[in-house]
Amino acid sequence: MQQNVLSKGPAIIPKVQAISFAAHGDDRGQLIALEDFTDKVPFSIKRVYYIYDTTPGTVRGNHAHRELKQLLVCISGACTILCEMPDGAKTEYRLDWPDKGLLIEGLVWRQMKEFSKDAVLLVLASEHYTEADYVRDYSEFLRLCNEEREGNK
Ligand code: T46
């Protein structure tokens, strides 16, 4: 199931996109710059957070967002992001190098797992933190997916 392809939900816009960043590399090392309103970060960055020092074997996430757009980059170590689309398709993305990113937009059920000990998962988000945007109940996620599918007919 591990792959690096564009996944499409029922909506016209892609909901999950694996992205690679161009590094400014020279004999001193590598540098990657991310700016908002670009093809890599197609939103205004209102919040940045990072996940680190994860407990071995832990699985985080297990929720979806209603509107939030996020770009995830594992800037140290590695972790796996499992995304479930509104049409039920599931894809796993392994983020194991700082030049790889995962853009997640809207109603996608996600899990973050298989963190390496040194993993630091950086997230750029399009909105400030608001619990109201979370869908933490899986049956509510399925109901909203159904609603979205009906709306796209
Ligand atoms: C997501 C994945 C990739 C805040 O106070 N502010 C914040 O900006 C965030 C993100 C979290 N929190 C608080 C809320 C909880 O009390 O931090 C605690 C842990 O949050 P949560 O259990 O939601 O963390 P994850 O790792 O399951 O999910 C996070 C994001 O919440 C979520 O939006 O997409 O990372």
Alpha-carbon span 109 to 88, nearest angstrom: 10
* Domain interval for residue 53: 38-151
- Give distance in angstroms: CA of 88 to centre of ligand 1: 23
Ligand 1, atom 32, lies closest to the CA of 61
pTM above 0.85, yes or no: yes
Domain membership flag for residue 93: yes
112 close to ligand 1 (CB < 6 Angstrom): yes
Which pLDDT score is estimated for 79?
Answer: 98
47 close to ligand 1 (CB < 6 Angstrom): yes
Domain membership flag for residue 47: yes
Domain membership flag for residue 92: yes
Which pLDDT score is estimated for 153?
Answer: 65
> Is-catalytic flag, 63?
yes
- % of the chain with per-residue pLDDT over 90: 82
Give the tens place of pLDDT for each residue, 60-116.
999 999 999 999 999 999 999 999 998 899 999 999 999 999 999 989 999 999 999
Domain membership flag for residue 125: yes
Domain membership flag for residue 9: no
User: In 3-state terms, what secondary structure has residue 45?
Assistant: coil
Give the tens place of pLDDT for each residue, 29-40.
999 999 999 999
Domain membership flag for residue 8: no
Domain membership flag for residue 29: no
Provide the CA 119 distance to its chain's centre, in angstroms: 15
Top mutation candidate among 15, 47, 54, 63 for ligand 1, by most atoms within 8 Å of CB: 63
Ligand 1, atom 8, lies closest to the CA of 129
- Which atom of ligand 1 approaches the CA of 61 most closely? 27
Domain membership flag for residue 15: no
Provide the CATH number for the domain around residue 83. 2.60.120.10
Which pLDDT score is estimated for 151?
Answer: 74
Which pair of structure tokens corresponds to residue 31?
């540098």
Number of domains observed in the structure of the chain: 1
DSSP assignment of 51-109: EESPPTT--EEEEEESS-EEEEEEEES-EEEEEE-TTS-EEEEEE-STTEEEEEESS-E
Ligand 1, atom 34, lies closest to the CA of 61
